[in-house]
Amino acid sequence: MENEIIAMPRIGDKAPEFKAMTTQGEIHFPLQYRGKWVILFSHPADFTPVCTSEFMTLALMEEQFEAANCKLLGLSVDGLYSHIAWLRTIQEKIEYKGMKNVEVNFPLIEDNTMEIAHKYGMIQPGESSTKTIRAVFFIDPKGMIRAMMCYPLSLGRNFEELYRALIAMQTADTFNVATPADWKPGDDVIVPIAGSYDVARERMNGKDDMTCHEWFFCTKKLDKETLWQNVLK
C-alpha cells in the first residue's frame, strides 16, 4: 500500500524472532545465537554488482568478526537456489580489487515471502517496494538490538566501519566507557559524566588516570593490549 508505514525495530528492542532456510541450513534466530554478537544485514538482490563487491569484502573479513565473538547473517528476498548460484558465481568467476576465488561461508537467508524483511523494516517503498535496502542490525549476546545502519541501494557499505562500531560497543560494555568521534582501538575513551558536584570537583582537581577538558568531558587511556585481551575471545 502506498501509505503503508514501515516500522523498524528500535535500539533496545528484542530482535524479532524467525525461522528460516539459509545457504548453511535452517536457523532459528536469535535463539541459537545466544551468547554471541550478530550482524544481520540485508542486500537488495543477488547477481548485482554492488552486492557482489560487499559479499566478497565481508567474506574475507569473516574471521576478523569471528575473533570478536560476532556472527554474520545476510538476507535478501531472493530464493535459496538463486543465493547458491550467485555465491558459486562469486567464487568461480569474479575477480575484483585483488579478491578472487572468494568463498562465502556465512549464512545467506532465503526470504522470498518478504516476511523477515517486513519484520525488520527492510522494505522501504520510497527506495524500492520489491528489494530490501542495505540495512544493518547489530544484535548483542542477549538478543537485543544495539545499533542500526541503513544505506540506499546505490551505496556500498564500509565494513571496516561496521567492525569499528562492533568493537566500540564491546569496549563500552566491557569497560563502562563511551567512545568519541572517529574512535579507534588504542585511542582515549570517554569516562561517564560525573554524577555529583563532589565527583566533578575531584576530577577537575586532577586524577592520575584522567584528562578532564571540562567537568562533563573527561577521557582516559585504554591501550590496545588491554582492550584486545578483554574483547577478543
In terms of Cα–Cα distance, which of 223, 232, 233 is closest to 167? 232
What's phi and psi for 29, nearest 5 deg? -110, 140
In angstroms, the CA 154 to CA 134 distance is 9
Check if 212 is active-site.
Answer: no
In terms of Cα–Cα distance, which of 72, 77, 151 is closest to 117? 77
In angstroms, the CA 66 to CA 71 distance is 6
In angstroms, the CA 42 to CA 64 distance is 20
Annotated binding-site ranges: 134
- Residue 133: Cβ within 10 Å count: 22
Annotated binding-site ranges for substrate: 134
Q: Which of 51, 70, 212, 218 is catalytic?
A: 51
* Residues annotated as part of the active site: 51
